[in-house]
Amino acid sequence: MHAIREALAAFRRAPLLTALSTAMVALALYVVGLFAVASYNLHEALERVEERVEVVVYVRDDARDSEIQLLEEELRSMEEVADTRYYSKEDALQRARVDLPEFEELFTDLEVNPLPASVEVELGAGFRTPESVARVADRASIYPFVEATRYGQEWVDRLFLLRRIGGITTAILGSAFAVVAALIIGTAVRIAIFARREEIHVMRLVGATHGFIRRPFLLEGALTGILGGGLAVALTYASYLGVSRLIFRLEWIPLEWVVAGIAAGGLFGLLASAFALRRYLREV
Amino acid sequence: MIKLNHVTKEYARRGKALDDVSFQVKKGEFAFLTGHSGSGKSTTLRLIHMADFPTGGEVLVCGFSSNVTTPRDVWKLRRRVGFVFQEFRLLPGRTALQNVTFALEVTGTPRKELASQGRRLLAQVGLAVKSGMQAHELSGGEQQRVAIARALANEPLVLLADEPTGNLDERAARGIMELFRDLNARGMAVLMATHDLDLVRAYPDVRVLELNEGRLVFDSAAPEVADEPAPARDA
Ligand SMILES: Nc1ncnc2c1ncn2[C@@H]1O[C@H](COP(=O)(O)OP(=O)(O)OP(=O)(O)O)[C@@H](O)[C@H]1O
Ligand SMILES: [Mg+2]
Residues of B in contact with A205 (CB under 8 A): 78, 83, 89
Same domain, A86 and A132: yes
Domain end position, chosen among A150, A178, A203: A150
CATH number, domain with residue A135: 3.30.70.3040
Q: CB count, 10 Å around CB of B1?
A: 18
Same domain, A33 and A86: no
What was the pLDDT predicted at B234? 47
Same domain, A41 and A59: no
Same domain, A66 and A43: no
Answer yes or no: is A159 within a domain: no
Which has more pLDDT, A79 or B2? B2
pTM of this prediction?
0.75
Same domain, A175 and A34: yes
Q: Which ligand is nearest to the CA of B211?
A: 1
Per residue in A24-69, pLDDT (tens digit) is 889 988 988 888 888 888 888 877 777 777 888 898 888 888 888 8
Calpha distance B159→B156 (Å, rounded):
7
Same domain, A275 and A189: yes
* Angle of the A153-195 helix axis to the A130-141 helix axis, nearest 10: 170
Same domain, A210 and A261: yes
DSSP track, B178-225:
HHHHHHHHTT-EEEEE---HHHHHH-TTSEEEEEETTEEEEETTSHHH
Answer yes or no: is A156 within a domain: no
Answer yes or no: is A272 within a domain: yes
Full domain range(s) for residue A244: 2-48+165-283
Inspect the interface and report whether the beta carbons of A207 and B107 lie closer than 8 Å.
yes
Which of A201, A208, A210 comes nearest B107 by C-beta? A208
User: Using CA of residue A272, residue A274, residue A278, residue A280, what is the dihedral sign?
Assistant: positive
Question: Which of A184, A171, A280, A164 has its CA nearest to residue A232?
Answer: A184
Same domain, A44 and A171: yes
Answer yes or no: is A25 within a domain: yes
Residue A28 makes CB contacts below 8 A (sequence gap 6+) with A177, A178, A180, A181, A184, A228, A232
Same domain, A11 and A82: no
Calpha distance B232→B124 (Å, rounded):
45
Answer yes or no: is A158 within a domain: no
* CB of B14 closer than 6 angstroms to any ligand 1 atom: yes
Answer yes or no: is A157 within a domain: no
Answer yes or no: is A69 within a domain: yes
Give the CA angle between residues B176, B178, B182 to the nearest 5°. Answer: 115
* CB of B156 closer than 6 angstroms to any ligand 1 atom: no
Domain end position, chosen among A119, A150, A181: A150
* CB of B38 closer than 6 angstroms to any ligand 1 atom: yes
Domain end position, chosen among A150, A174, A204: A150
Per-residue pLDDT in tens (0 to 9) along chain B, 235 residues: 999 999 999 998 878 999 999 999 999 999 999 999 999 999 999 999 999 999 999 999 999 999 999 988 899 999 999 999 999 999 999 999 999 999 999 999 999 999 999 999 999 999 999 999 999 999 999 999 999 999 999 999 999 999 999 999 999 999 999 999 999 999 999 999 999 999 999 999 999 999 999 999 999 988 665 555 544 444 3
Total structural domains in chain A? 2
Q: Which ligand is nearest to the CA of B43?
A: 1
Q: What is the ipTM of this complex?
A: 0.89
Same domain, A42 and A68: no
Which of B71, B72, B78 comes nearest A206 by C-beta? B78
Same domain, A8 and A87: no
Q: What is the 3-state secondary structure (H, E, C) of chain A?
A: CHHHHHHHHHHHHCHHHHHHHHHHHHHHHHHHHHHHHHHHHHHHHHHHHHHCCEEEEEECCCCCHHHHHHHHHHHHCCCCEEEEEEECHHHHHHHHHHHCHHHHHHHHHCCCCCCCEEEEEEECCCCCCHHHHHHHHHHHHCCCCEEEEECCHHHHHHHHHHHHHHHHHHHHHHHHHHHHHHHHHHHHHHHHHHHCHHHHHHHHHHCCCHHHHHHHHHHHHHHHHHHHHHHHHHHHHHHHHHHHHHCCCCCCCCHHHHHHHHHHHHHHHHHHHHHHHHHHCCCC
